[in-house]
A and B are shown apart, each in its own frame.
Chain A
Amino acid sequence: MDEFIRIEHLNQRFDLSEPWLARMIYRRPKKFLDAVDDVSFGIERGKTYALVGESGSGKSTIARMAVGLLTPTGGRVLIDGQDLHDGSLSVAEQRRIRQRLQMVFQSPYASLNPRWRVGSILAEPLRVFRLVDGPQAEQARVHELLEQVGLSASDARRFPHEFSGGQRQRISIARALASKPDFIVCDEPTSALDVSVQAQVLNLLKQLQRDLGLTYLFITHDLAVVRVMAHRIGVLKSGKLVEEQATEKLIESPQSDYTRMLIRSAPRIHRAAS
């Protein structure tokens, strides 16, 4: 087992207490919410791990901690054995690690700057991580990225609003690929898209994984999508991992009642005669 990322006893506690004065006057105790509660799992290099669960189960909170956007209140995120959050990394090391971790967000409408041309959106990570020398190399890389996700080089001159939802999500994927990452967190990447377009984007993600050896953490509430996308699945409920298993095994013979309920509730076109 060659694990790329290991998550150990991860915890995220949010402080929901009332302001200090109100607590003093009304003698209310502090209030906490454990959004993520002692979650551990690992993802093998080049494989896809899916976290499924309903809204509020803590899926996205884990995703944000896995790429370093949020600091856990307990536990560790190990990338190739290095702790992402313990502060032992130098600024330069942190930068190098972050370059390898990227994220694709749910809404391609909110995650692309509407005032920037696509070319600038894709060039930003190249500049930040100093990955190219000079404008020509930059332009060449931008064109290469666009073609990699099924768009054309001339699209670099256009603005995000000129694209459809599916195309915008391709741009988000290209931006994530710009820094040559090893690991991409896909947070509900297709739930804002129509099914025919969803299929295009999912197929693209799978093809990129094959071509580039990417490791994915795939966040979704849709078990049908997970079935064709993930090697392993973790089921989350109220911040706790209730079950974790290889994809087919989990769907064919779920162990927990919660997983069974989720599978049963998934709407299906052809329900096996029952």
Chain B
Amino acid sequence: MKKNILGIFLLLVAIFVITAIINPKFLNAYNMQNLIKWSSLYAVMSLGVAFVIITGGIDLSIGSVVGLVAVVLSICLKLEGMDPWSAIGLTLVLSLAIGFLHGILITKAKVQPFVVTLCGLLVYRSMGRWFTDNQSIGPIPLEDDAGYANIEQIQGLDFLFSGKIALGSFNLPTPAVFLLVLSLAAAIFLKRTIWGRYLFALGNNEEGTRYSGIDTDRMKILAYVLCSFFAGIAGILFAFELDSVQPAQTGEFYELYAIAAAVLGGCSLRGGEGTVLGVVIAAAVIRLIYNSINMVGISTHLEFGILGLVILLGVIGDEMLKKTVARKQATLKP
């Protein structure tokens, strides 16, 4: 059930070319680095939600998980002075646990994914605010913080998660490397392993899959665990990228960007469809639109409007293209 990603790719190229024509500075290295960086950060989350959407589920808690992970990481590194690698480990375990909890509630307690993750959205956001008294916090300790003893290691982490690797005159942001590794792993998992096929099967026909002797509950739990895990990684990346975590705002609404990217990238909300490359391109399209609006000089008030319209037109165009292909296939086959 592979959906074509030609449409979304053409959209990416079209916006890219138009922006470059209107403002050639769009193409300068600095802007390209920024574009790659932001696209990678958002694409990591989008990949995570794609797993869940492929099984026919939904995860609305991604933004809050990003926020909570960023908050917990900052508290551990800055205020508690915890060993930096342990702090990273702790936050990743936290995100895995959140995903596992979602999976258990959805499969064993039979609560709808929408409800479970909506409540998660509220609870994790609130926890982040409560842990910090709703005060801004950053992962990099200042001189009078307990974590300052580990400053060298933390600066190392800062480079790992938000640094730039010099490739000649071009500096590749490290989040892009994370995205590359994660998307390769995700693609291999989805396309080359039996579990990946189970996920697609589950999204296409849950009953049928179960009657084929597949433990669908376990597969669903796996999808939610992966989703939260990816959100957790995104949380760490965002914390180091921004150096500033606002408990009430960091990650707010990111679930919608992630879901939009997954859908624009070819995942069907009905489940059973989706490609890793499509989701990555779609996440890049969304960030590209934001960048283009600034580069072209359109009022920032129009950002959401333009984004909404482009996504809508993108999905409609993609549907039409898909139909055309299907028609051609039908006429050519006999």
Q: Do A and B bind each other?
A: no
